[in-house]
C-alpha cells in the first residue's frame, strides 16, 4: 500500500476530536511525497485557518469540515489541495442553507428578479450577463452584454453566494450581479452595517 493511502486510512480511523492527529497524518504524507518543510508549514497554517473560517460560516465542527475536505481531496497532494488557490475564501460570501431557499428569496417580490450590472450600472434580467440597453459614444442603443468573471476588476455591484448544503461537496462559490430589492443575509466577516470586522481569517 502506498504511503498516501496509509495516511488516508489513518485519517478515517481517527476519533472525531483528533483534528491534530489528522493534520499530522497529512504532514507525514506531504513529507514522504517530497514536500519541503516550508511548504508543509504553509499547508498546516492554511488548514487551521480554513477550518476556523469554514466552521464559522457553515456552522459545522472543524472535524466535520476536515473530513469533508479530505473526501474532496481524494488522492490529490495535500500541499496542493490545502492552499489558498484551491480553497476559496467564504467569509465574505452571502450564505443560504439550500439553493431552493436562495431562489425563493429572489422571487419573494412575486416578479422576476432584477440585477444591477457592475459594468453599466443598469438593470439586467440575467444574474451574470447584462441584458441592459445602453447608449454608445455614437448615441446608438446597444446591448451592454457584459459578462461577470470572478477575476474582473469591476466587482462593486457583484456578490458572492454560498450554498451551505453544497459547498463541502464541490467547494463552489457563485458570483452574480447584486439582486435589486433582495434582503441579503449578514456575512460572517461583516457586521450589521456592512463594515469589515477585520478578523484573523479575513
CB 25, CB 11: distance < 8 Å: yes
Q: What is the pLDDT of residues 142-162, one digit of tens each?
A: 999 999 987 665 567 788 999
Mean pLDDT over the full length of the chain:
84
The helix/strand/coil state of 26 is helix
Residue-level pLDDT at 54 = 95
Question: pTM of the entire structure?
Answer: 0.76
DSSP, res 59: T
Cell 431562489, located at residue: 103
Residue-level pLDDT at 90 = 93
In the structure grid, which three cell numbers stand for residue 171, read together? 467547494
Quick one: angle between helices 62-73 and 3-13, nearest 10?
Answer: 150
Residue-level pLDDT at 2 = 42
CB 62, CB 19: distance < 8 Å: yes
| Calculated CA dihedral for residues 112, 117, 122, 127, nearest 10 degrees | -10
Residue-level pLDDT at 1 = 36
Q: What is the pLDDT of residues 31-80, one digit of tens each?
A: 999 999 999 999 999 999 999 999 999 999 999 999 999 999 999 999 99
Cell 481531496, located at residue: 73
Residue-level pLDDT at 77 = 95
CA dist., res. 193 & res. 186, Å (int): 9
Quick one: angle between helices 62-73 and 19-32, nearest 10?
Answer: 30
CA dist., res. 88 & res. 75, Å (int): 20
CB 57, CB 95: distance < 8 Å: yes
Confidence tier at 95 by pLDDT (50, 70, 90): very high
CA dist., res. 181 & res. 106, Å (int): 9
Separation in Å, CA 135 to CA 37, 58, 68, 118, 144 = 57, 43, 49, 16, 9
In the structure grid, which three cell numbers stand for residue 25, read together? 497524518
Distance of CA 94 to the CA centre of its chain: 10
Amino acid at each position: 500500500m502506498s504511503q498516501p493511502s496509509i495516511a488516508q486510512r489513518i485519517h478515517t480511523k481517527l476519533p472525531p476530536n483528533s483534528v491534530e492527529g489528522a493534520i499530522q497524518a497529512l504532514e507525514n504524507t506531504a513529507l514522504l511525497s517530497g514536500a519541503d518543510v516550508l511548504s508543509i508549514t504553509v499547508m498546516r497554517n492554511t488548514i487551521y485557518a480554513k477550518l476556523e473560517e469554514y466552521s464559522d460560516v457553515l456552522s459545522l465542527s472543524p472535524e466535520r469540515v476536515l473530513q469533508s475536505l479530505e473526501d474532496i481531496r481524494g488522492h490529490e497532494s495535500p500541499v496542493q489541495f490545502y492552499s489558498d488557490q484551491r480553497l476559496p475564501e467564504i467569509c465574505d460570501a452571502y450564505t443560504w442553507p439550500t439553493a431552493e431557499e436562495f431562489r425563493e428569496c429572489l422571487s419573494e417580490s412575486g416578479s422576476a428578479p432584477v440585477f444591477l450590472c457592475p459594468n453599466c450600472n443598469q438593470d439586467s434580467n440575467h444574474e451574470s450577463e447584462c441584458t441592459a440597453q445602453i447608449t454608445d459614444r455614437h448615441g446608438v442603443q446597444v446591448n451592454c452584454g457584459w459578462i461577470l468573471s470572478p477575476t474582473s476588476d469591476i466587482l462593486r455591484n457583484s456578490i458572492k453566494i454560498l450554498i451551505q448544503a453544497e459547498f463541502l461537496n464541490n467547494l463552489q462559490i457563485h458570483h452574480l450581479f447584486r439582486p435589486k430589492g433582495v434582503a441579503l443575509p449578514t456575512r460572517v466577516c461583516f457586521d450589521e452595517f456592512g463594515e469589515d470586522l477585520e478578523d484573523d481569517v479575513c
